């Protein structure tokens, strides 16, 4: 995922930079770096965990507690 694709993803989701940051657990500044593709003249790659989180958000998944679909919560 490059900077242009990341920005297009955010816009398709209808998210502001602040909202994308919130959903991805990042600071808005990182969203800006990812969308620019650089920070202080150095390339800023989008980490795999962020790319995977983008996919999850695009599928309507906003959080994950580690359980498989339909798996009951542990007693306790």
Q: Encoding tokens for residue 12? A: 């398709």
- What band does 70 get if pLDDT is binned at 50, 70 and 90? confident
Q: pTM score, two decimals?
A: 0.85
Model confidence at 76, pLDDT cuts 50, 70, 90, reads low
Tens digits of residue pLDDT in 10-65: 999 999 999 999 999 999 999 999 999 999 999 999 999 999 999 999 999 999 88
Domain with residues 3-58, CATH architecture:
Orthogonal Bundle (1.10)
**Residue-range domain boundaries for the chain:** 3-58
């Amino acid at each position: 995922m490059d900077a242009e694709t990341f920005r297009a993803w955010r816009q398709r989701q209808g998210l502001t930079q602040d909202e994308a940051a919130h959903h991805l657990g990042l600071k808005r500044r990182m969203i800006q770096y990812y969308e620019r593709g650089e920070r202080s003249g150095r390339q800023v790659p989008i980490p795999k965990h962020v790319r995977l989180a983008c996919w999850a958000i695009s599928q309507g998944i906003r959080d994950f507690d580690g359980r498989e679909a339909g798996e009951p919560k542990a007693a306790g």
